[in-house]
Chain A
Amino acid sequence: MKQFQYVITDELGLHARPAGQLVKVAAGFAGCYIKVGTEAKMVDAKRIMGVMQLGAKKGTALTITCEGADEEAAAEKLEAFLKENL
């Protein structure tokens, strides 16, 4: 399993658009079980509703876990996405 943390720096937080984009990136790794969330709650990174419901804002520390096929590539791509967009 690959795991990493990312603290959101975008002022607007994880709103609808970035939530949708994050899910799209995660969904690109069909054989990998990916979760995103906080200490309080982890959700399936391939479901938009759950990701939006995190209500993650600027300063929120997100944990991402990738388990399964291509887990290293998935973690790498998600980390790059977060750095670029959030």
Chain B
Amino acid sequence: MGLLDKLFGKKEAEEMEIGAPLEGEVVPISQVNDPTFSDEILGKGIAIRPTGNKVYAPCDGTIGMMFDTGHAVSMTSADGAEILIHVGLETVGLKGKHYTIHAANGDEVKKGQLLIEFDREAIAAEGYDTITPVVICNSADYSEVKTFTGKTVNAGEKIIALVK
């Protein structure tokens, strides 16, 4: 058992990193003007005010649900984190307009792989808030969801660390 304890002990101490799926300013989820996110109903996380127009995989994993509207995508990381990226608020209402999908349900993806392209200016021009929540749907499976806010990031930079 000693060896097992050691192995599990080591595993527990490890953090799993989630990278930014897009470039922009990282803000606390509480600043999102939508209670579904700010009240953490979909999980703990952060939000990014995007400055680009591409969404990349935040880690290695499998696409769970690519909404056919392209406004949101969920994936499960190789180590079990369930991540939802929601590009803009209420953007389900655009019904796919201004979004282009680059991955499908069940796809195995690598960190940094292009998932969605979106026309940020056009979406904003139609009156939608383009802030993009990135949340861990299975937050309850982790003892701690660390967030790294108050900075501007490029895609791939650490925004969340999960502690088992």
Contact = CB atoms under 8 A, between A and B. Distances in A.
A65 B41 CA distance: 22
B128 interface: no
The A contact surface, by secondary structure, is helix
Q: How large is the interface on A (under 10, 10 to 19, 20 to 34, 35 or more residues)?
A: 10 to 19
B65 A52 contact: yes
B138 A20 contact: no
A48 B43 contact: yes
A49 interface: yes
Interface stretch (A9-17, A34-42, A71-79): A9-17
Contacts of A47: 82, 137-138
A40 to B, nearest CB: 13
A28 interface: no
B150 interface: no
Given A16-B72, A16-B84, A48-B84, A53 B65 contact: yes
B64 interface: yes
Interface residues of B, number: 20
A16 B36 contact: yes
Contacts of A19: 42
A20 B42 contact: yes
Contacts of A23: 41
A53 B106 CA distance: 10
Contacts of B93: 12
B65 to A, nearest CB: 5
Nearest to B139: A48
User: What 9 A-B pairs come out closest when comparing CB atoms?
Assistant: A48-B137, A20-B42, A20-B41, A49-B82, A17-B36, A15-B92, A53-B65, A52-B65, A49-B137
Interface of A: 12, 15-17, 19-21, 23-24, 47-49, 52-53, 55
